[in-house]
């Protein structure tokens, strides 16, 4: 691999092997077999789990079925976070396949948004793209697009069409060369040990002096604890798409290549607890 566009492909085609099991409390007519699926990292849980739903509905009575939701080791999984983020945040250091529990009752209204249809996901996805473009280009690019272009982005994600998506997303990733990058980098920093959903602030890709900001620069400002100083034991993993980029990686490059389809760079800061051998 020697080309940056391969990174785009790798990011897009990232898959997480997942084992869905039905919550034991659900009433079933017969034993529910677990269901195995490769989930696209960049997609959304509720967008890609129709098969899961179908599978479990086969053993359930219609009256026992409410809105489907997912849980991993006691944590309800927010469908509006990309699947890869959910995995990195909650399950990245565990064995594969990722074991997700499926519920059809007791929807945790406090933790999760309802997702009655794909159009809700579409609305969420498009609003993220618009928000990101507001940060990157003052919304100029996304506003110049036609409705069918927006549709193309969404259809690309929904149907897992890399080329279709990127034919349009390319435009969202452009910037004037003289600027050296976007106006602000659309990013979100997630952490498990916080009530705050995520950190999101304005941050430019280029310093006032004109040098390119790196991932480390961003973390220094947003989440200094995440950085391992010399001589310290590493306390946090900084994970994007399941990998730990070096802190010197230019932020602009990350934004262009490791952003999710929603155009945000989703960064997970995962505490390293009890590392046996240091």
Partner 1 sequence: MSTRLTFLSATRRRPTRIKGGIPLTVSQSVCCRATAGSGVTSQVCNTNLWTASSSPPAAGSGRATGMWMKTLRESPQRKGCLCSQGWSYAIDFPATYTKDKKWNSCVRRRRWLRYRRYKAMDTWAKIPSQQTTLPDPFSDISCGGWEISEEPRGRLSLWAVSLQGKVWFRDGIYHHNPEGSLWEEVFLPGEVIQISCGPGDLVWAVLWEGQLIVREGISRDCPKGSSWAVVESPSPDVGAIHVAVGINVVWAVTKDNKVWFRRGVNSHNPCGSGWIGMVGEMITINVGLNDQVWAINCEDRAVYFRQGVTSSELSGKTWKAITVPRDGDRSHSSASANSLQSAGCYFCGEVRAQSVVSDAESDTEKGSADGASCHATSTSPESFVDAPTDSSNPPTDPPKPRIPKVTSDSFISELVSDREPGKSSRDTGSAPPAVPEEESIPGEGEVKAPCAGSALSPSQSGGPLDPQWSNVDLEEAQQAQTVAVQDTADTCSLSSVATYTLAMEDPYGADEHPLWAWVSGGGCSVDSHSQLNWFNFSMNSSSLVSSVQSMSLSVSPAQTAAWRRQIFEQLSERTKREMDNFRHYEQAVEQSVWVKKGTMQWWRDWKPHKWIDVHFALEQFSGPDGNKDGILFIYYNYYEEKKYLHAFINEVTILVPVLNDSKHTFAIYTPERTKQRWPIRLAAATELEMHDWLALLSVSCCDSRGIHGPPSKQAIWSITCKGDIFISEPSPGLEAMPYPTPCDQMFWRQVGGHLRVVECNSVGIVWGIGYDHTAWVHTGGYGGGFFQGLASSTDNIYTQTDVKSVYIYENQRWNPVTGYTNRGLPTDRYMWSDASGLHECTKTNTKPPSPQWTWVSDWAIDYSVSGGTDREGWQFAADFPASYHGYKTMKDFVRRRRWARKCKLTTTGPWQEIPPIPLSDVTILPCTAQSSVDVIPVWAISNKGDVLCRLGVTALTPAGSSWLHVGTDQPFKSISIGAASQVWAIARDGSAFYRGSVSARSPAGDCWYHIPSPAKQKLKQVSVGRTSVYTVDENGNLWYRQGVTPSYPQGSSWEHISNNVRKVSVGPLDQVWIIADKVQGSHSLSCGTVCHRLGVQPVEPKGQSWDYGIGGGWDHITVRGNSVEPPRLRLPSLTDPSSRSPVPVRNTEVNGVGN
- Residues within the interface to partner 1 (CB under 8 A): 1-7, 9-11, 14-17, 36-40, 43, 47-51, 96-97, 118, 146-148, 151-152, 155, 158-161, 241-246, 248-250, 257-258
Detail the DSSP E strand segments found in 104-152: none
For residues 122 and 133, which CB has a smaller minimum distance to partner 1 in the complex? 122
Of residues 20 and 198, the one with the C-beta less far from partner 1 = 20
Distances (CA, A) of 246 to 27, 215, 236: 48, 8, 13
By the 8 A CB rule, do 103 and 70 touch? yes
Count the alpha carbons within 13 Å of 24 in the hemisphere toward its beta carbon. Answer: 0
Q: How far is the CB of 110 from partner 1 (least distance, A)?
A: 23
Q: CB of residue 151 vs partner 1: minimum separation in angstroms?
A: 6
Distance CA 255, CA 245 (A): 12
> Mapping DSSP to helix (H, G, I), strand (E, B) and coil, where does residue 62 land?
helix
Distance CA 230, CA 216 (A): 14
Q: Which is nearer to partner 1, 157 or 172 (CB)?
A: 157
Between 39 and 141, CB nearer to partner 1 = 39
Of 163 and 195, CB closest to partner 1: 163
- Can you tell me the distance from the alpha carbon of 99 to that of 97, in angstroms, rounded to the nearest whole number? 6
Instruction: Identify which of residues 53 and 235 has a Cβ nearer to partner 1 in the complex.
Output: 53
Q: How far is the CB of 252 from partner 1 (least distance, A)?
A: 12
* Contact between 271 and 236 (Cβ < 8 Å): yes
| Nearest-approach distance from CB 139 to partner 1, in angstroms | 21
Smallest distance from partner 1 to CB 97, Å: 7
Residue bearing tokens 């920093």: 189
Residue 196 Cβ vs partner 1, minimum distance, rounded to whole Å: 27
* Mode of pairing for the β-strands spanning 75-76 and 35-40: unpaired
């Amino acid at each position: 691999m020697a080309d940056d566009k391969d990174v785009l492909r790798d990011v897009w085609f990232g898959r997480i092997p997942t084992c869905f099991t039905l919550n034991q409390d659900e009433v079933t007519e017969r034993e529910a077999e677990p269901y195995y699926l490769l989930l696209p990292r960049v997609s959304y849980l509720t967008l890609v789990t129709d098969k899961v739903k179908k599978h479990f509905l086969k053993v359930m009575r219609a009256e026992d079925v409410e809105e489907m939701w997912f849980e991993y080791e006691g944590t309800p999984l927010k469908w509006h976070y990309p699947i890869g983020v959910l995995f990195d945040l909650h399950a990245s250091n565990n064995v594969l396949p990722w074991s997700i529990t499926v519920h059809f009752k007791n929807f945790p209204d406090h933790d999760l948004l309802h997702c009655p249809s794909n159009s809700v996901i579409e609305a969420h996805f498009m609003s993220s793209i618009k928000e990101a473009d507001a940060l990157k280009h003052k919304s100029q690019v996304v506003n110049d697009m036609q409705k069918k272009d927006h549709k193309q982005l969404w259809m690309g994600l929904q149907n897992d069409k890399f080329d279709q998506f990127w034919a349009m997303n390319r435009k969202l990733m452009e910037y004037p060369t003289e600027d050296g990058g976007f106006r602000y980098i659309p990013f979100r920093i997630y952490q498990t040990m916080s009530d705050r959903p995520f950190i999101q602030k304005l941050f430019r890709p280029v310093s006032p002096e004109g040098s390119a900001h790196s991932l480390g620069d961003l973390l220094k400002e947003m989440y200094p604890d995440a950085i391992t100083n010399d001589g310290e034991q590493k306390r946090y993993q900084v994970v994007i798409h399941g990998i730990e980029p070096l802190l010197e990686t230019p932020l602009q490059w990350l934004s262009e290549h490791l952003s999710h389809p929603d155009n945000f760079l989703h960064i997970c800061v995962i505490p390293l607890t009890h590392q046996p051998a240091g």
